[in-house]
A = this chain, B = another copy of it.
Amino acid sequence: MVCIVSGLPGLAFVLLLASFVSSRPVQRDLAADRESHFLQRAKLIDEETKLRIGSTTTLTPPESTLDYIMMREKRLIMDESRTNRSAYLPAYSFHQSKAYIENTTIYKIIKRMPKGAALHLHDLAITSLNWVVKNVTYRDNVYMYYDDKGFVRLGAFDTPPADNPWKLVKSQRAAAADQDIFDEDIRKSISMLSNDPLVTYPTISLVWDRFNLYFGQVIGLLFNADIMRDYYRQALVEFKEDNVQYIELRGQLRGFSELNGTTHDAEFGADLYKDVTDTFVRENPDFFGAKIIMSGLRYKPQTDILDEVKSAMALRQKYPNFFAGYDLVGQEDPNYPLSYYIDALLYPENTLPYFFHAAETKWQETEVDYNLVDAILLNTTRVGHGYGLAKHPKMSSLMKERNIAVEVNPISNQLLGLVNDLRNHPMAVLMADGFPVVISSDDPATWEAAPLSHDFFMAFMDLSGRDTGLGFLKQLALNSIEYSAMSSDEKIQAIALWQTKWDTFIREVIAELTSGQIVGR
């Protein structure tokens, strides 16, 4: 490189540079500066790490072994993508990542892990579509038609209504050229996953339309009391298989019907869930149970919500150990805020626990966002989603102080249009600061996710960092019991049950990893 220094300024510069260099000690103690820098660096990082969820959770020596293995796998995937410039699939749309995820060692470990409880679930979207197709649609009295947009609609009746071209599924299947393809077509037509919602439905409202359509497709089946009894039982089977020990379920409760059209009230619904739960727990003593959260629809008239609140108060009195409380559900953005129903919600004077959805939105400082404030003032036990919470420093510090956990549903938030790359999920910010969080799956059947394992995978790979390992997952499992609606006694029992399963899991999974029985990606 030819260097041109022209005129006096340049000369002055050279002289200045020379004088500057010569005025320094020839040998400075750079080694000491460097050591001091890296000591302070380590101290700061350590202080911060201690704030993160799970960072202070103690690990036994075998747990540390598994921690080492999981961190190694996590770092491999992250570093490969970061430094080798390849796509980071764990943060991609679940549509694109599902198959990849299921083949990773980390997923295989998480699947086996006793995850405690799933606390944010909706009763019409918790059992695999595969079971619905292969079991429910094989029954007598189940009818179907494809609507004008080509989506299948299902219903169970003695006699189908004349409003649509209902046909018996049995006869349609018998007439089909290939019964497997016939079944597969039904499943694909119900699943949101068959059309990647991030691409197919570019606005959040279009995604919600598709999401609501799912409920329209299956409600004619699932509001049948007999079918729901089996559907819910099968949900418990599948959650147990996915190594979940306990669930809390939101449901409308009223409206279950018989084939002849007779419909039932909310007490019937509560009884239905309670009977199935009790029987299941009797038959499966290593499953801890379930509680129900009655859920109104946030577009109903105020008088309806007051009626529901009163009904919920009575059910809470009748089933104090099973009926956990009340919530309002449905897309928050275009519908009524909690403040619209304030008379109804104040009515119980703190005798009815609430579990409010709040701020499932990207709209900062809107009435949807401020559902958080009403939820806090109404002494909500937990907050569902709380996607907007991180932008509310006052509310988040209040909630942390009062130990109000947020139910985070990563895949739901992604597929319902809140966030594409899950590393941008705003709850990751609060989780890095030890905010009380539980991970759940919202409506896993809708997008064919596992009952809880895929969401736990996302939490591990996207909502926490490269140095965050098994302690994080262990703490999330413990949180799920701690922040549940269980009584103190129930929590002690549930933790004992979970701990036994956890110890077995640690022992077995390490043995299997060591012997090569678990091999991923």
Please report A residues at the B interface, Cβ cutoff 8 Å. 1-5, 9-10, 12-13, 16-17, 20-21, 28, 30, 33-34, 37-38, 40-41, 44-45, 47-48, 51, 78-79, 82-87, 91, 202-203, 205, 262-265, 267-268, 271, 310-311, 313-315, 317-318, 333-334, 339, 342-343, 346-347, 349, 361-366, 368-370, 373-374, 376-377, 390-395, 398, 418-421, 423-424, 426, 428-429, 432-433, 464-468
Contacts and interface: CB of A to CB of B under 8 A. Distances in A.
By DSSP majority rule, is chain A's interface helix, strand, loop, or mixed?
helix
Nearest to A420: B420
Nearest to A49: B365
Given A83-B333, A203-B86, A364-B464, A347 B30 contact: yes
B45 A373 contact: yes
A426 B516 CA distance: 41
Nearest to A433: B393
Contacts of A349: 28, 33
Contact of A314 (B20, B33, B394): B20
Contact of A48 (B5, B395, B433, B464): B395
A364 B428 contact: yes
B343 A44 contact: no
Contact of A342 (B37, B314, B391, B464): B37
Contacts of A202: 87
Contacts of A391: 428-429, 432, 465
Nearest to A398: B44
Given A271-B9, A346-B33, A377-B37, A362 B423 contact: yes
A465 B421 contact: no
A17 B366 contact: no
Contacts of A3: 263-265
A10 B267 contact: yes
Q: Say how many copies of this protein the assembly contains.
A: 2
Contacts of A467: 365
Contacts of A37: 342, 346, 374, 377
B44 A313 contact: no
A317 B1 contact: no
23 contacts: A2-B262, A3-B263, A4-B262, A4-B264, A13-B315, A17-B310, A20-B313, A20-B314, A33-B349, A34-B342, A37-B374, A37-B377, A38-B342, A44-B394, A44-B395, A48-B392, A48-B393, A78-B366, A82-B333, A85-B205, A390-B390, A393-B432, A419-B421
A4 to B, nearest CB: 6
Contacts of A369: 465
A318 B17 CA distance: 9
